[in-house]
Amino acid sequence: LRFDEQVRVVVFKSQVKGVFCAGADLKERAKMDDAEVGEFVRRLRNLMDEIAALPVPTIAAIDGYALGGGLELALACDLRVAASSAKMGLIETTRGLLPGAGGTQRLPRCVGIGLAKELIFTGRQVDGEQAASMGLVNHSVPQNSEGDAAYQRALTLAEEILPQAPFAVKMGKLAINKGMEVDIASGMAIEGMCYAQNIPTRDRQEGMAAFREKRPPRFTGK
């Protein structure tokens, strides 16, 4: 996906009704020795980092349970949409564990330190409406009879992104992600570098021409 220039947005959904991702298989984990567990979690963390590093926007469509590593997967995405009936939580402390695939880092950046600590320390689960109120998800929607309301809303959100200039969107994502890791002065410098890369693009010229000619722009990603 990273190297496919035709990809504009990636939506993560489950094929299992009522479950987005239930996290690690603890029965499988119980058969591993300490070294195997450490390697398993390291690979899982790397996977989440790969998802977070995708250059295009990513959307998690949470139509059911997103627990433990399942919520960490959703947190690795740029945007999250949840059914109001969905259940989310970093429940690791209820199993004698702590989040190990980015949850301790991405959740505080999403909802703030105090709330993230409360959710992780208690292992509490929240529904879609609660998640929306705390900023954990961008949108909460009533579940439908097909059980894919979040996915349908995610598609609508993706369709809002698709017409926009692909390279500009990618640079916007890069500027936000890298800028959040540094002080604001350094972040402004990062924004400037991303903007400079966008200036010579054909899409920028097309955007200006479309505005002058009062027509919809035809972006190509070049």
Which one of the listed residues 61, 70, 72, 83 is annotated catalytic? 72
> Which residue in 96, 97, 87, 89 sits closest to 41, CA to CA?
97
Q: Which long-range contacts (CB under 8 A, 24 or more apart) does 98-104 make?
A: 99/68, 99/72, 100/41, 100/44, 100/45, 101/41, 101/44, 101/45, 101/47, 101/48, 101/69, 101/72, 101/73, 102/45, 102/48, 102/49, 102/52, 102/72, 102/75, 102/76, 103/71, 103/72, 103/75
Among residues 23, 24, 89, 154, the one annotated as catalytic is: 24
24 is catalytic: yes
Is 28 annotated in the active site? Answer: no
For residue 5, indicate whether it is catalytic.
Answer: no
Q: Of these residues, 82, 89, 92, 131, which one is catalytic?
A: 92
Q: Which of 87, 40, 95 is nearest to 67 (CA)?
A: 87
68, 69, 70, 100: the catalytic one is 69
Q: Which residues contact 3 (CB under 8 A, 6 or more apart)?
A: none
Q: Is 39 a catalytic residue?
A: no
On the CB side of 91, how many CA atoms lie within 13 Å of its CA? 18
Spatial strand order of the sheet with 10-12 comes to 10-12, 58-62, 79-83, 139-141
> What is the Cα–Cα distance from 62 to 88, expressed in whole angstroms?
9
Q: Which residues are catalytic, by number?
A: 24, 69, 72, 92
